[in-house]
Amino acid sequence: MIQSVARAARILHELGSGSPTLGVTEIGARLDLAKPTVHGLLRTLEQCGLVSQDVATGRYSLGPGVLQLGNAYLAGSELRARSMLRAAGLARQVNEAVWVSVLVDDTVMVVHHEFRPDDAVQILEVGATVPWHACALGNAIVANLSEAEVDGLLAHPLRALTGRTRTQPEAVRKALATAQDRGFAIENQEANVGDGGIAAPVYDHSGRAVGSLGVVGPAERLLARQARTSLSRAVVETARAVSRDLGASRAKQPGLSHAGPPRRAD
Amino acid sequence: MIQSVARAARILHELGSGSPTLGVTEIGARLDLAKPTVHGLLRTLEQCGLVSQDVATGRYSLGPGVLQLGNAYLAGSELRARSMLRAAGLARQVNEAVWVSVLVDDTVMVVHHEFRPDDAVQILEVGATVPWHACALGNAIVANLSEAEVDGLLAHPLRALTGRTRTQPEAVRKALATAQDRGFAIENQEANVGDGGIAAPVYDHSGRAVGSLGVVGPAERLLARQARTSLSRAVVETARAVSRDLGASRAKQPGLSHAGPPRRAD
DNA sequence: CGTCTGTGTTCGACAATGCTGAACAATGGT
DNA sequence: ACCATTGTTCAGCATTGTCGAACACAGACG
């Protein structure tokens, strides 16, 4: 663990979350570092294009280089590449917006966003993040993690985004169990009021759940009784297809690859 | 200049350009570093989520963290925030796709992409990069830089993307001069065959050209004689409006802030 | 089936490296 | 005009990262 690099990364993270512009002193206070230390790190990061300094105020913010890197990540993401075609097909089939996501720390990040064919104007949500416990995409992934990893995630308190967000570890565990049983997860206005989602996990060649894929949209439309069954079937089928493209064998798909007694999938 | 951080940044850059997945030995060879050095840096970057290692092959690639950072950059970009509304208005007015861009090193990076209202399916180009000399967006910005900065950019050889790309420094200088005279730049199939663009610079409160804004699309449609004049006027007006929103006074807009005798804009 | 080159990884020692303290210049507010 | 605060610079000390050689493991080949 190289500390100067780790500190630089923490600075980037700090610049990325919360205030979009920070001063040297402010960063030093937040990370408990001396002013000159932060200064040196910032200067280096600036020369690499990862941060930029406002010449007028002297404050620092993220630089354009990080966007280039983010784009390169998307371009190189195998999950994204393999799921784009099938996500487009799913969106056309069910006429809903489709998201493909990855779990990073305790949040789910959207790596691909296929628009709902009918809607003219929608905002692109690639790069957006949602707490894992408040969305179907997150539950679909976490339901396939090992007990230890789930425990680790549930150790932190669960933030409530809406009145319907599950914040009790027990309630979340129950949701994970049913998601694991059914093979897909359902979310009903737990992240945004009015919005819901249905998502299924995507496995790679080793059987690990590397991400998830699902539909998002108005809860009344997606979660109506008859829509729900056809949607969930289509979502699961698409996720299976992507998993197959990633090299997952059919046998590995139920997520039995991790230590600990797995819940039975069917 | 902290070398370990600089090296980490070079690693990220290397992972971002070219092969999406690299091995320790390969990185070491490219950056002329010892294997253990690269390994330590990669481990640290991995723990920060900026790179991730494929457990099967052991090779490394960019991690999801960089996408989060890239998104945070977009969220915090003042140019982007201030230009979104006006870009949408321009797109509606002229019925063309609108790009907002920033100059980073010797390439132009798209920080906002407003779709052409009529087209149903288009791909989002945010984060895409184009060499500055091969697009109107780049010429619009560079035309407002100081002589020294232009010289620096022209020192490197200019890559040809199409048969129409200007690669002779003299030709580019001439294009910059006319762009400066008119207040906007025109590109005709210099980056992609069939595509053209019209762009104007955006200034901040200090009078510096912090980016540019323009329309892109099929060259025959955009650059037809009658379309060209109305488009260029609309683009320039929108760019002026954004500049005003960023705090640029009218007097500063012609780009008089830099050394050297500026050409009159009107 | 053994060998062998290649990979990513670990260990330890040297010294180069980056960190911290205090002092400086410049800005903005009062 | 003062003061407080900012970002920045400069030194010396010791921590810290670097490098060479050796390790475990994989796949390729004879």
pLDDT exceeds 80 at position B254: no
Enter the DSSP assignment of A148.
Answer: H
Statement: residue B260 has pLDDT above 90:
no
Give the count of domains, chain A.
2
The answer to the question of residue A259 being in a domain is: no
> Between A264 and B61, where is the model more confident?
B61
Contact with chain A for residue B129, Cβ under 8 A: yes
CB contact B108 to A (< 8 Å): no
- Could you read off the pLDDT of A85-116 as tens digits, one per residue? 999 999 999 999 999 999 998 999 999 999 99
**In the complex, which nucleotide's C1' lies nearest to the CA atom of residue A34?**
C20
**pLDDT of B148-174, one tens digit each?**
999 999 999 999 999 999 999 999 999
Residues B104 and B36 in one domain: no
Is residue A38 one of the residues assigned to a domain? Answer: yes
Mean pLDDT of all residues in B245-256: 61
Residue A235: C-alpha distances to residues A118, A255, B201 (Å): 19, 17, 45
**Residue B264 within any structural domain of the chain:** no
Which residue has better confidence, B259 or A75? Answer: A75
Asked whether the predicted pLDDT for residue B262 surpasses 50, the reply is: no
A101, A63: one domain: no
Inter-chain contact B8–A8, Cβ cutoff 8 Å?
yes
Do both A187 and A84 map to the same domain?
A: yes
**Strand C lies under 7 A from the Cβ of residue B19:** no
- Residues A57 and A87 placed together within one structural domain of the fold: no
Q: Which residues pair with A188 in a beta bridge?
A: A196
Q: Is the pLDDT of residue A254 over 70?
A: no
What mean pLDDT is reported for chain B? 90
Domain residue limits at B143: 77-252
| Cα B140 from Cα B103, distance rounded (Å) | 10
Residue A64 has pLDDT above 80, yes or no: yes
Residues A19, A105, single domain; the answer is no
Assess contact for A59 and A23: CB atoms under 8 A: yes
CB A212 within 8 A of CB A201: yes
A230-235 contacts at long range (C-beta below 8 A, 24 or more positions apart): A230/A94, A231/A94, A231/A96, A231/A198, A232/A182, A232/A184, A232/A186, A232/A198, A232/A200, A234/A90, A234/A93, A234/A94, A235/A90, A235/A184, A235/A198, A235/A199, A235/A200
Q: Which residue has the tokens 């490219």?
A: B30
- Among B22, B42, B64, identify where a domain stops: B64
Residue B67's closest chain A neighbor by CA?
A70
Looking at the structure, do residues A127 and A208 belong to the same domain, yes or no?
yes
Q: How high is the pLDDT of residue B110?
A: 96
The reply to whether A36 has its C-beta less than 7 Å from any atom of strand D is yes
pLDDT-derived band at A264 (thresholds 50, 70, 90) equals very low
Minimum-distance CB partner of B66 among A43, A64, A66: A66
> Is the CB of B76 less than 8 angstroms away from the CB of A20?
yes
Asked if residue A25 has pLDDT above 80, the reply is yes
Rounded CA gap, A62 and A131, in Å?
23
Residue A180 domain-assigned (yes or no): yes
Chain A neighbours among B 182-221 (CB < 8 Å)? 205-206
* Residue A123 touches partner B, C-beta closer than 8 Å: no
Does residue A135 share a domain with residue A14? Answer: no
Q: How far apart are CA B252 and CA B204, in angstroms?
A: 9
| B5–chain A Cβ distance below 8 A for any pair | yes
Domain end marker among B40, B64, B88: B64
Judgement on whether residues A145 and A190 belong to the same structural domain of the protein: yes
Which of A 105-134 have CB under 7 A of nucleic chain C? Answer: none
pLDDT value, residue A248: 76
CATH of the domain at A20: 1.10.10.10
> B248 pLDDT band (50/70/90 cuts)?
confident
CATH number at residue A83: 3.30.450.40
- Which chain A residues touch B45 with a CB distance below 8 Å? 5, 9
B265, part of any domain = no
- Together in a domain, B189 and B112: yes
Q: Assess if residue A194 is contained within a domain.
A: yes
**CB of B3 lies under 7 Å from some atom of strand C:** yes
Interchain contact, B5 vs A8, CB within 8 Å: yes
Taking the C1' atom of every nucleotide in all shown strands and the CA of B4, the nearest one is D17
Q: Is pLDDT of B253 > 50?
A: no
Q: How far apart are CA B243 and CA A152, in angstroms?
A: 48
| Same-domain check for residues B163 and B115 | yes
pTM given for the model: 0.90
Check whether residue B131 and residue B226 sit in a common domain: yes
Which one of A9, A21, A49 has the shortest CB-CB distance to B104? A49
Q: Is the CB of A46 under 7 A from strand D?
A: no
In a domain, A266, yes or no: no
Which residue of A47, A61, A71 is in closest CB contact with B76? A61
Ranking A86-90, A106-110, A129-133, A251-255 by mean pLDDT, the lowest is: A251-255
What SS3 class is residue B100? strand
The alpha carbon of residue A150 is apart from the nearest alpha carbon of chain B, in Å, by: 19
Query: A64 at the B interface (CB within 8 A)?
Result: yes
Helices A35-47, A24-31: axis angle to 10 degrees equals 110
Min CA distance, B197 vs chain A (Å)? 22
**Do B134 and B174 sit in the same domain of this protein?**
yes
Q: Give the C-alpha distances (Å, rounded to integers) separating B144 from A150, A204, B179, B232.
A: 55, 50, 9, 18
Q: Choosing among A42, A61, A71, which should be mutated to test the B contact, i.e. which has the most B CBs within 10 A?
A: A71
Q: Which two tokens stand for residue A38?
A: 């932060």
Residue A241 pLDDT more than 50?
yes
For the stretch A203-223, pLDDT in tens is: 988 888 999 999 999 999 999
pLDDT of residue B250: 59
Q: What confidence tens digit (pLDDT) does each residue in B71-126 have?
A: 999 999 999 999 999 999 999 999 999 999 999 989 999 999 999 998 877 788 89
In a domain, A261, yes or no: no
* Last-in-domain residue among B19, B38, B64: B64
Weakest-pLDDT range from A152-156, A167-171, B19-23: B19-23
Residues 54-93 of B with CB under 7 A from strand C: 58-59
pLDDT of residue B46: 94
B41 at A interface, C-beta within 8 A = yes
Q: How confident is the model at residue B266 (pLDDT cuts 50, 70, 90)?
A: very low
